[in-house]
Structure 1
Amino acid sequence: MSQVRTRFAPSPTGFIHLGNIRSALYPWAFARANNGVFILRIEDTDVERSSQEAVDVILEGMQWLGLNHDEGPYYQMQRMDRYKEVLQQMLDQGLVYPCYMSTAELDALRERQMANKEKPRYDGTWRPEPGKTLPPVPEGVKPVLRFKNPQGGSVVWDDKVKGRIEISNDELDDLVIARPDGTPTYNFCVVVDDMDMGITHVIRGDDHVNNTPRQINILRALGQEPPVYAHLPTVLNEQGEKMSKRHGAKAVTQYRDEGYLSDAIVNYLARLGWSHGDDEIFSRQQLVEWFNLDHLGKSAGQFDEAKLRWVAQQHMKTADDAMLAGLVREQFARHGVTLPAALQTGDKLTALCALFKDRCATTVELMEWLTMYVQHLHAPAEELAAQLTDVTRPAVQALAKRLESVSWEKEAISQAIKDTLKEAGLKMPQLAIPVRLLVCGRSQTPSVDAVLALFEREDVLARLARA
């Protein structure tokens, strides 16, 4: 088999959301799994709706997710000369023809066909045939160019998701492939791009299924064999509607800003339409090792935020602590928080991430946990009053006294707590909860000795002094 060459070809007409980016993930994974080439192509021929801002979000989102392309980005607007060159070749070969039917005439034709309960389609008025006399060319009218679709027979392909698909050529009219001003249309540009870029596998959303027979016929007219097609079912939102900006979808980059790990998003997205047995959690490397087109799902995947958070938590638990520390520093900076010197460099922030990461799905949540080490967070007065009683206050003060002189590490702090509990005749929660409220501003944390050990001694003693 020739080298695998896949592509992702987004239109920069709005921000890119998870449903869109899945159409990048699968061709990327397939190319990587087969030592192939992954190409990025920006389909920007819709000049009025395309924007550089949308292009930037596509590039930014793909970079964050690690979906690195080997060639491109190619921009269709920069390839207009090539499209016109192929159009001219097709004209010279009699594969396309000028059509002078006006919009008003097309509308009238459509209305007649619908009144007769026929499928609305171009009727071939201007299609040249042996022995056929064409209407006189109207003056001052610039024609569109139409492709001479084959007549009779069928277009057949074995879709890697949908199975065998067969469309009768008689269902397809002669497609407009160039507008009156000479600019080529979408389906034609796609064919020339896929041909020039040697695309072997087209993995895209199933909203393109209706385009496929037309594209196959144009490719064959140009002497090319079509690529392998895999048309992916739609991604639905939690309400069961097609995922879209209008239905509340978020830009991919928003998940980055919310603190999700890119590997977690890749893992979650991969499972939203593909499977490897019962494996739910896997690394990017495992995805590449396992990925093929035979296990793509045939039904629509539905986005589930709770499932995404669960996947994200599993990745947080196994994430490298130093890497998390770097991401948490970025989150603090994004939120305008200046870290104390002890957390700006060195291993302390890494140790904090190791202690708290099991409780988090995102680096934003991790940042929120670690805020207690950056500024003094005050517990709700009522909660503190309920826990800091005449029974527990003396024990807290006694613990503070012991902590003035112990070695400042977890084991010694743990022993100081045990000695205080024994002396006061209390159980662990009676001491640990008021200590957490005073020092951390919250009643639930990891093991209190481990939490205290990562504070500066002076900060712990100053906060306990409020008892």
Structure 2
Amino acid sequence: MSDHAPTAPRLRVAPSPTGDPHVGTAYMSLFNLAFARQQGGRFVLRIEDTDRARFREDSEQQVFDTLHWLGLQWDEGPDVGGPYAPYRQSERLETYRPYVERLLADGKAYHCWCSTERLAQMREVQQKSKQPTGYDRLCHGRTQAERAELPGYTPTPVVRMLVPDDVELSFDDLIRGRVSAPRPDDQVILKADGFPTYHLAVVVDDHEMGITHVVRGEEWISSTPKHILLYRWLRLEPPQWAHMPLLRNPDKSKISKRKNPAARLTWFQEQGYLPEALVNFLALLAYPPKAGEDGEDVEVFSFEEFSKDFDWRKVNPVGPIFDLKKLDWLNGVYLRRLEVGQLASRLLPYLQRDGVLPAQPSLGQLARLGRVAELIQTRMVLLSEATALVAPFYSADDEIEVADDARAQLKEDSGAVLGAALEALSDLDDSREGLLASGSRWNAEAIEASLRSAIVEGMGIKPKLAFGPLRTAVSGQRISPPLFESMEILGKTSTLARLSRLRDALAER
């Protein structure tokens, strides 16, 4: 058993690898890390994998990957090591046994041989008679032989803590002040398979690893008296407590992976949110924005700015609503702040995922992506939305498919508009020499001038209606990147081929 006296704050996050990481893992990590960095302390990642029935082997790596993606880097953990290794509970089983033996020897815990069937029946009777639910201590004070003579016996016991009648139910919380919790029952602290339950393991591990501040969700308030009791029985110094408000859906229910895809941390990557926007959003959920010099709230800030002024007393204990509209707004702000080269780099994995670009794009394809990224930067909220906007720039001219909503808005004169456009654009020179010839260059300015002259002035069509057929021909979409700039990037040959293809298709109808 260790006796640590940290000189600087030590905080931890301890997710369970039982599926896709919950967004709450990032939420807790953010607040833990902000305080640790502000105070010059350490942030620890511990994997609590004692629930072997729900354990999923790939989940731990997902925790590493998603927190790395968010930039929430830990100082100690299973993958980076540290002075208190190992950092997986399944690798620490021998650590817990001496603590259990001490509690048994001191009469603070006892063996329980009750079968799961007997416990289920007990709870059913309690619920039907509207009694408080909890273990009835049938095994307390009995030897194994004595207990074996009674119904509902199983030879492999668990270990329960013996909660006294005068257990202290109040404690100080950094966020909530003085908090009261309900009376706990005789909690199982060692399971029949030899694995500790959360309640024993978290106390032992936090002590062994020198954790000074335990920051976790408010659902653990009811368990805190058990933990404080274990600290006292084992003569250990308890940490300070901070119970964060739970993230909630718009209907005020607790956000869960079963009901809300946004509860999965990997979902935000799949959708194309920027990690810095998500970190900013999570900070705003339970913390007030900083007041600007003009008195207005400053809602866009970096992790470093958040950490610098962090104060537990400012955390709002009321469960915040997980408002994706606010996150979308923030993501748009961060997208527009990116340099074009950075945006292109962020877009690349999504375009490769969706088959727009190959795994090893050519230099020409990457150069074109830089030009296209500049066009669409203000037209996206999510990186994943780029696929529909970018795909036409990499599609073969004869493979452009016209979307139903784009086809529906084509008027009877669309064929004539396309014909006039073809005639006007044919006069523009896209040769290398032509780039130097004033008035005949294939660029957005010259393309726009020629098309306005031919369609708006020549055919008398209003500007807002004049270019719809051209947009549809070039991109296949009703809404697309700026038309003239798109034509410039595609080049004359592709542009004319696409205009001709739609014109001919309309003529055949």
The two structures have a TM-score, normalised by structure 2, of: 0.78
Match for residue 461 of structure 1?
Answer: 496
Instruction: Provide Cα deviations, 1:307-328, integer angstroms capped at 9, x if missing partner.
Output: 3222221121112322221232
Assess if the C-alpha contact under 8 Å between 2:28 and 2:216 holds in 1: yes
Question: CA shift at 1:457, angstroms?
Answer: 3.2
Cα distance change on mapping 1:153 and 1:318 into 2, 3 Å: same
2:83 aligns with none
Alignment of 1:145-156 (within 5 A): 145-149=159-163, 152=166, 154-156=168-170
**Aligned ranges for residues 126-165 of structure 1 at < 5 Å?**
138=145, 144-149=158-163, 152=166, 154-165=168-179
Show the counterpart of 1:345: 366
Displacement of 1:81 in angstroms is 0.4
Alignment partner, residue 82 of structure 1: 95
Distance 1:111 1:421 in 2: 80
Report the counterpart of residue 49 of structure 2 in structure 1: 44
Q: Which moved more, 1:366-375 or 1:51-60?
A: 51-60
- 1:349-382 CA-to-partner distances (Å, cap 9, x unmatched) read 2232122111101111122211121114344445
The answer as to 2:14 corresponding to 1:9 is yes
Asked if residue 221 in structure 1 is aligned to residue 233 in structure 2, the reply is yes
Between stretches 94-103 and 180-189, larger displacement belongs to 94-103
Q: 2:312 aligns with which of 293, 298, 305?
A: 293
* Counterpart in the other structure of 2:341: 322
Offset of residue 187 of structure 1: 0.4
| Secondary structure at 2:427 match in 1 | helix
CA distance 1:418–1:198, shift in 2 (3 Å) = same
Are positions 1:63 and 2:63 aligned together? Answer: no
Unaligned runs of 5+ in 2: 1-5, 79-86, 149-154, 291-296, 435-439, 504-509
1:202 Cα deviation from its structure 2 partner: 1.4
Q: Is the 8 A contact 1:276 1:295 kept in 2?
A: no
Percent of paired sites with the same residue: 32
Worse-superposed segment, 454-463 or 200-209:
454-463
Shift of 1:293: 1.9
Secondary structure of the 2:8 match is: coil
- The worse-fitting range, judged by mean Cα deviation, of 414-423 and 276-285 is 414-423
Distance 1:263 1:420, change over 3 A: same
* Structure 1 residue 414, shift from structure 2 partner: 4.7
Partner of 2:84: none
Q: What amino acid is aligned across from residue 334 of structure 1 in structure 2?
A: R
Change (3 A) 1:403 1:382: farther
Which of the numbers 389, 396, 411 marks the counterpart of 1:369? Answer: 389
Q: For the residues of structure 2 that align with 1:115 and 1:431, how far apart are their CA atoms?
A: 74
Matched residue of 1:407: which SS?
coil
Partner of 1:130: none
Structure 1 counterpart of 2:458: 424
Which deviates more from structure 2 when the two are superposed, residues 414-423 or residues 224-233? 414-423
In 2, Cα distance between the equivalents of 1:400 and 1:283? 51
Greater Cα shift, 97-106 or 183-192: 97-106
1:407 aligned to 2:421? no
Does the residue aligned with 1:145 lie in a helix, a strand or coil? strand
Please name the residue that 2:151 is paired with.
none
Per the alignment, do residues 33 and 421 of structure 1 end up closer, same or farther by CA in structure 2, a change over 3 Å counting? farther
- How far off its partner does 1:158 sit? 2.0
Contact 1:264 1:315 (C-alpha < 8 Å) held by counterparts:
yes
SS, match of residue 58 in structure 2: helix
Matched, 1:437 2:478: no
The equivalences for 1:141-220 within 5 A come to 144-149=158-163, 152=166, 154-167=168-181, 171-180=183-192, 182-220=194-232
Q: 1:106 to 1:389 in 2, by over 3 A?
A: closer
- Partners of 1:117 and 1:392 lie apart in 2 by 78
Q: Closer, same or farther in 2 for the Cα pair 1:386/1:143, shift >3 Å?
A: same
After TM superposition, give the deviation of residue 165 of structure 1 in Å. 1.2
Query: Cα distance, 1:15 vs. partner?
Result: 2.1
| Structure 1 residues 61-98: Cα deviation after superposition (integer angstroms, max 9, x where no partner) | 22222222211132111100011122234445x26343
- Structure 1: how far apart are the matches of 2:59 and 2:456? 64
Q: Does 1:394 align with 2:394?
A: no
Measured against aligned partners, the alpha-carbon deviations of 1:86-134 in whole angstroms (never above 9, x if no partner) come to 2234445x2634345645887788788779876445566777xxxxxx5
Secondary structure (helix, strand or coil) at the match of 2:145 reads coil
TM-aligned CA distance change 1:446 to 1:87, over 3 Å: same
1:396: how far off? 4.9
Hey, which bits of structure 1, 4+ residues long, moved more than 6 A?
104-117, 123-127
Which residue of the other structure, out of 262, 272, 287, is the alignment partner of 1:259?
A: 272
TM-aligned CA distance change 1:385 to 1:96, over 3 Å: same
TM-score (normalizing by structure 1):
0.85
CA separation of 1:299 and 1:423: change in aligned 2, threshold 3 A: closer
Distance 2:419 2:428 in 1: 14
Q: 1:396 to 1:293 in 2, by over 3 A?
A: farther
Q: What letter matches 1:158 in structure 2? A: D
CA distance in 2, matches of 1:437, 1:181: 65
> After the TM superposition, which of the residue ranges 265-274 and 417-426 deviates more from structure 2?
417-426
CA RMSD of aligned residues (A): 3.3
